[in-house]
Amino acid sequence: DKPFIFITRNIPEKFVEPLRVVAEVEMWHSEEDPVPHDVLTEKAKKAHGLLTVLSDRVDEELLKEATNLKVIANLAVGFDNIDIQAATKRQIYVCNTPDVLSDTTADLAMTLLMTTARNILEASAHIKENKWTSWSPYLLAGRDIHHKTLGIVGMGKIGEVLAKRAAGFDMNILYHNRSRNEQAESKLPVTYASMDDVLEKSDFVVCLTPLTKQTENMFNEEAFKKMKKSAMFINVSRGDVVDEAALLKALNEEEIAAAGLDVFVNEPIDGSHPLAMHPKVVALPHIGSATVETRTSMIKLAVQNIEAVLAGHFPSTIINRELVPQG
Ligand code: GLV
Ligand code: GLV
């Protein structure tokens, strides 16, 4: 019997072909609609491998019944949708897609920062809605980016690339991370700072931290109060690092100036979401790594990780490294 692989979203057949040689592969029929949790649980019961996306919840409930499962390849760098502990306990490798998306996600972070700072969406709408009647001194005037202070929260690989981009814009760069990143400091003009310093001194606070129990709701009422009133908050990590009610309040009470958000607590949201409707918010539908090139690289990496495990090897980008023998 060939091993069974379930892929939770429709991806191009040409990337799945190598897997079909060695496994029976079933792919969820839709590119847009997520697989219902009960269907995923049912498929997982007989699967040796799962290729999941970040909106698929892989919890202990599901893993308990997935007695054949050897590998979960998540099509994302983040893996907060997967119960890692429960997977490790069952000797199931969990893989993500780091590195291949760092440049692209940093590009998006910079784009979102600039779009927010320079009122780009409003400016574009100004023409499309026939509002451009004259040149005037402060028409759609935004805020400078160059020579301002950027505070990066979460200085991992994406943070490093963002710092490189920001240095090109002559920004002063502070960062906060769970642990100091001396390697980043040695090659980039970045200065380690306490979380409070980052919040108090930055003109732009960009959140790139993974979602963990420690980072959940770290951007709360208190955090927004510490920011400058002229500060802009950019989130490209996970919605749950933000208390959205507190963010809304901070925007309404002018504790901060604007926000650029690529992620939300309950995705997907629609145009009636109070943050999406807010005039000081640029809202994007979680497109940090969304380029054709990078999504292709991510898919290839996820497929390779499953292939490796089926061939009896270790996957290349494994999260629960304790499953790999040392030495
Ligand atoms: C996207 O949010 C990812 O984690 O790759
Ligand atoms: C916080 O900044 C973290 O790196 O977890």
Domain containing residue 230: CATH number: 3.40.50.720
Cα of 76 from ligand 1 centre, angstroms: 4
- CA–chain centroid gap for 257, Å, is 23
Q: What is the CA radius of gyration of the chain?
A: 21
- Shared domain for 122 and 262, answered yes or no, is yes
Ligand nearest to the CA of 179: 2
User: Is 90 in the same domain as 113?
Assistant: no
- What's CA 304's distance to the chain center, in Å? 22
| pTM (predicted TM-score) | 0.96
Q: Which atom of ligand 2 is nearest to the CA of 214?
A: 5
Number of domains observed in the structure of the chain: 2
Residue type, 25: V
Could you tell me the distance, in angstroms and rounded to a whole number, from the CA of residue 273 to the centre of ligand 2? 28
Provide the pLDDT for residue 31.
Answer: 77
Does residue 77 line the site of ligand 1, with CB under 6 A? yes
Nearest ligand to residue 199 Cα: 2
Of all ligands present, the nearest one to the C-alpha of 209 is 2
Same-domain pairing of 161 and 209? yes
Residue 61's domain comprises 4-98+292-323
Expressed in angstroms and rounded, the spacing between residue 209 Cα and the centre of ligand 2 is 5
263 with 159, same domain? yes
Nearest CA to ligand 2 atom 2: 177
Q: Give the separation between CA 262 and CA 250, rounded to whole angstroms.
A: 18
Cα 50 to ligand 2 centre (Å): 28
* 49 shares its domain with 10: yes
What pLDDT was estimated at residue 33? 86
Q: Are residues 183 and 215 located together in one domain of the fold?
A: yes
pLDDT of residue 327: 56
Residues classed as catalytic: 238, 267, 286
Which residues lie with the beta carbon below 6 Å from any ligand 2 atom? 153-154, 176-178, 209, 215
Residues of the chain with pLDDT under 50: none
161, 187 Cβ separation under 8 angstroms? no
| Reported ipTM | 0.72
Instruction: Note the pLDDT tens digit of each residue in 178-209.
Output: 999 999 999 999 999 999 999 999 999 999 99
Residue 30, pLDDT score: 82
H or E, element range at 5: strand 4-7
Preceding peptide of 268 cis, ω within 30°? yes
> What pLDDT score does 201 carry?
98
| Backbone phi, psi, residue 147, to 5° | 65, 10
